[in-house]
Amino acid sequence: MVAMIEERAASGAGDELSDAEALERVRAGDHDAFAVLVRRYEGGLRRYLRRALDDPDLAEDTLQDTFLELFRTVQAGADLPALQGWLYRAATNNALDAVRRRRFRQRLRDLVMRAQPVVRDPGAETVERMAVNAALRRLSPADRLVLLLSVQQGLDYHGIAKVLAIGETAARQRVTRAKARFRKHYEQELDYAPALPPSPDR
Could you tell me if 20 and 86 are in contact, meaning their C-beta atoms sit under 8 angstroms apart? Answer: no
Cα–Cα distance measured from residue 64 to residue 87, given in angstroms and rounded to the nearest whole number: 12
Q: What is the pLDDT of residues 44-89, one digit of tens each?
A: 999 999 988 888 888 999 999 999 999 999 988 888 888 999 999 9
In the chain, pLDDT over 70 holds for what percent of residues?
A: 76
Overall pTM surpassing 0.75 (yes/no): no
**H helices present in the chain, as ranges:** 2-9, 19-27, 31-53, 56-75, 83-112, 127-138, 141-151, 157-164, 168-192
Domains, in order of start, for the chain: 1-113 (1.10.1740.10), 124-194 (1.10.10.10)
Q: How far does the chain reach from its first CA to its final CA, in angstroms?
A: 53
Dihedral pair phi/psi, residue 77, rounded to 5°: 95, 10
Nearest to 24 by CA among 83, 103, 65: 83
Cα–Cα distance measured from residue 17 to residue 33, given in angstroms and rounded to the nearest whole number: 8
Q: What is the pLDDT of residues 95-148, one digit of tens each?
A: 988 887 776 556 544 544 443 344 444 443 467 777 788 888 888 888 888 888
Cα–Cα–Cα angle for 16, 45, 66, rounded to 5 degrees: 95
